[in-house]
Structure 1
Amino acid sequence: MKQSKDKSLAVAYFLLVTCGFLGIHRFYLGKNISGILFIILSYSYLPFTPAIIFVGIWLIIDIFLLPTLVKSTNSLKHATCDPI
């Protein structure tokens, strides 16, 4: 069985900076529900709504939260891996 590589913090930051408003960094880390929520909130089509402000604040929080998210994703992956 092929093991997938650990998630990279550099890649996660790159995704956050380039297309964070779409939640791609969340999808990369396996946080699909929050990634979908990012998309829904980002495409509310009403500029300067509370949803857009919320996404901006969430992205700022994710800048500081990303190292912990990457570490927890990688440790969870190693805990569920069954070596034969």
Structure 2
Amino acid sequence: MDALMLSGSRRKSVGLAYLLLTFFGLFGLHRLYLGRSLSGAGMAAITLLSIPLIWSGLGLLGFVTTGTWALADALLIPSMARETNQAMPALA
């Protein structure tokens, strides 16, 4: 019984992923939550580097890049969550 409860608590929620996308999408927290740590860190790095460069073209380009990426992720979150949940080992 405990193994079943633990397994259920480790599954990734599509709803929570969308919530993270809504509030922290440019920082890639939804990707970190769904186990995509390298691309999530990449989104965060681009966004953080773009902040001091906001008045230059590079800063704007960074925000457009991560914004477009986050919008595309809005369509991809259900499949990313499914892949992550299927890859989790079942506890017996």
| TM-score normalised by structure 2 residue count | 0.78
Match of 2:75 among 54, 58, 64: 64
Name the one with the larger helix percent.
2
- Verify: 1:12 aligned to 2:21, yes or no: no
Q: CA RMSD in A?
A: 1.5
In structure 2, the residue matched to 1:32 is 37
Where does the alignment leave 5 or more consecutive residues of structure 1 unmatched? none
Deviations 1:28-83 (A, max 9, x none): 11111011101110011222432211101101100001111011111111xx3353
Q: What TM-score comes out, normalization by structure 1 length?
A: 0.85
Aligned length: 81
Structure 2 unaligned blocks of 5 or more: none
Match in the other structure for 1:81: 90
CA distances 1:1-45 after superposition (whole Å, capped 9, x unpaired): 643431111100000001111111111111110111011100112
Q: Over alpha carbons, which structure has the higher Rg?
A: 2
Q: Percent identity?
A: 30
SS at 1:7 equivalent: coil
